[in-house]
A and B are shown apart, each in its own frame.
Chain A
Amino acid sequence: AQTVTQSQPEMSVQEAETVTLSCTYDTSESDYYLFWYKQPPSRQMILVIRQEAYKQQNATENRFSVNFQKAAKSFSLKISDSQLGDAAMYFCAYRRGGSQGNLIFGKGTKLSVKP
């Protein structure tokens, strides 16, 4: 069975600095997708970034980028120029390949941003 592990329950970063959140996963499949979701205090789940396993190039969305290491089964999220609004729970998620399938989530990392 696939699993997703986030080893950092909490992280803290100074405003305008850079922080990296870790995620590892376990799967025997070669085709899959990886996601980072943000959950602010409102509890709404917001998609931050996604990565297709068949793509070697790391995904980037503005200040958010990933370091996808397929062989190591690692999928870390880098947040540059951190802002107060980035404070939230961040969840890493895995989905098998194919047109549909459920997400498997890690337990999350709580990110605090200090002014």
Chain B
Amino acid sequence: NAGVMQNPRHLVRRRGQEARLRCSPMKGHSHVYWYRQLPEEGLKFMVYLQKENIIDESGMPKERFSAEFPKEGPSILRIQQVVRGDSAAYFCASSPPYEETQYFGPGTRLLVL
């Protein structure tokens, strides 16, 4: 069973461009979480999704950020009009139904120039 996969592993964008981060959960996992890690900080929750539904987006900035987890395909975290402050590591985690442990992907390092 392959682990949580994220791509790209590294992404460089110029200010004003769009960033798309993808996450494929482990097989059988229907719950996906996105977290952001700023330099020298712990991970901060952004959004929790199940297939075709956003369950909790309380940690997501109101503007420029969106997330989806379609019926088919990976979960996508989209950042529009990126700014330098968006530079961070973005981690995806997944879990199966009725299990409390979350399994993390390797993260995507976003650098905004």
Contact = CB atoms under 8 A, between A and B. Distances in A.
Chain B binding surface, main DSSP class: strand
Interface residues of B, number: 27
B48 interface: yes
Interface residues of A, number: 24
Contacts of A62: none
Contacts of B42: 4, 91, 105-108
Contact of B102 (A44, A103, A107, A108): A103
Interface of A: 4, 33, 35, 37, 42-47, 50, 52, 91, 95, 99-108
17 contacts: A43-B107, A44-B104, A44-B106, A45-B43, A46-B104, A47-B101, A47-B103, A95-B100, A100-B48, A100-B95, A100-B100, A101-B48, A103-B93, A103-B102, A104-B45, A107-B41, A108-B42
